[in-house]
């Protein structure tokens, strides 16, 4: 069966403040594949993720989400995105459950929230170890716990492509292991996963491929090893 590649960047150039940041990046993540995007500070990892979701314009080259450029892509329910250093508050009073439920928005749209939506939200909160805090105000959570809620929000959508920019940054080791198990299960059901990481840590057994960026280009595999 022919599978459309969930994420493909072909020769992508992105400029920021007039400076070249990505300089012809090729990157693909296939169905069920977990790819780690590594590299030093400022090497362009977050820029690549932002370009992938159409949040930054591409000066040259091509980005495709399930075969479609971000500007024409409509199936956002298939994509889960955890931005870098994200906290879940946004200044709006909301419970942990309400924030995680935002991850179902692209599924239920204007129809009422159903049992399967509620089950997906509960499963996502359980996966990040926060089901017992579901009714708490989001502001009452620590930074790392709030980061776990943004991960739950992405998981709640049961996406076919997960883009996570340093999801482990503020998360304790036990929860890193729990997230590794969750992502392994996601990949096993066919989800394509792109993880921006500084250290592989508990994700080691899960990673199918590593792409190491250096000033906006992948380091050749033999150098990166
Ligand atoms: N909002 C911005 N405006 C202008 N330039 C930016 C902006 N964000 C990042 N840059 C520049 O783009 C380059 C790549 O940054 P990027 O955030 O993609 O790196 P990164 O690999 O994710 O780094 P880190 O590991 O520190 O998160 C850097 O030179 C940075 O200065």
Parse the chain into domains and list their residue ranges: 7-224
Q: Which two tokens stand for residue 167?
A: 């999801």
Cβ atoms 74, 65 nearer than 8 A: no
> Is the CB of 50 within 6 Å of ligand 1?
no
Predicted local distance difference test score (pLDDT) of residue 129: 93
The CATH number corresponding to 7-224 among 3.40.50.720, 3.40.190.170, 3.40.50.150, 3.40.50.300 equals 3.40.50.300
Predicted local distance difference test score (pLDDT) of residue 199: 87
User: From the CA of 175, how far away is ligand 1's center (Å)?
Assistant: 27
pTM, full prediction: 0.91
pLDDT tier, 169 (very low <50, low <70, confident <90, very high otherwise): confident
Give pairs for 64-71: CB < 8 Å, separation 24+.
64/5, 64/7, 64/8, 64/9, 64/10, 65/6, 65/7, 65/161, 66/4, 66/5, 66/6, 66/160, 66/161, 67/4, 67/5
User: Which of 27, 44, 167 should be mutated for ligand 1, with most atoms under 8 A from CB?
Assistant: 44
Residues 112-154: pLDDT tens digits? 778 888 999 999 999 999 999 999 999 999 988 999 999 999 9
Is residue 171 helix, strand or coil? coil
Predicted local distance difference test score (pLDDT) of residue 132: 95
H runs (alpha helix) in 71-142: 96-101, 105-108, 115-127
Q: Is the dihedral of CA 68, 3, 30, 151 positive or negative?
A: positive
User: From the CA of 117, how far away is ligand 1's center (Å)?
Assistant: 35
């Amino acid at each position: 069966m022919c599978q459309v590649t969930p994420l493909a960047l072909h020769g992508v150039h992105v400029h920021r403040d007039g400076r070249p940041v990505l300089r012809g990046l090729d990157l693909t993540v296939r169905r069920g594949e977990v790819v780690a995007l590594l590299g030093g500070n400022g090497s362009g990892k977050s820029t690549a993720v932002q370009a992938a979701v159409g949040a930054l314009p591409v000066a040259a080259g091509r980005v495709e989400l399930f075969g479609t450029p971000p500007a024409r892509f409509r199936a956002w329910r298939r994509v889960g995105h955890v931005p870098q250093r994200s906290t879940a508050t946004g200044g709006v009073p909301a419970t942990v459950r309400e924030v995680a439920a935002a991850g179902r928005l692209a599924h239920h749209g204007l129809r009422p929230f159903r049992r399967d939506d509620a089950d997906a939200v509960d499963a996502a909160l359980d996966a990040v170890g926060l089901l017992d805090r579901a009714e708490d105000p989001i502001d009452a959570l620590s930074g790392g716990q709030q980061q776990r809620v943004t991960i739950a929000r992405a998981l709640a959508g049961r996406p076919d492509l997960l883009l996570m920019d340093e999801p482990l940054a503020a998360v304790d080791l036990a929860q890193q292991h729990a997230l590794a198990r969750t992502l392994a299960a996601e990949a096993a059901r066919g989800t394509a996963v792109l993880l921006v990481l500084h250290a592989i840590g508990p994700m080691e057994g899960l990673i199918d491929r590593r792409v190491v960026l250096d000033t906006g280009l992948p380091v050749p595999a033999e150098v990166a090893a």
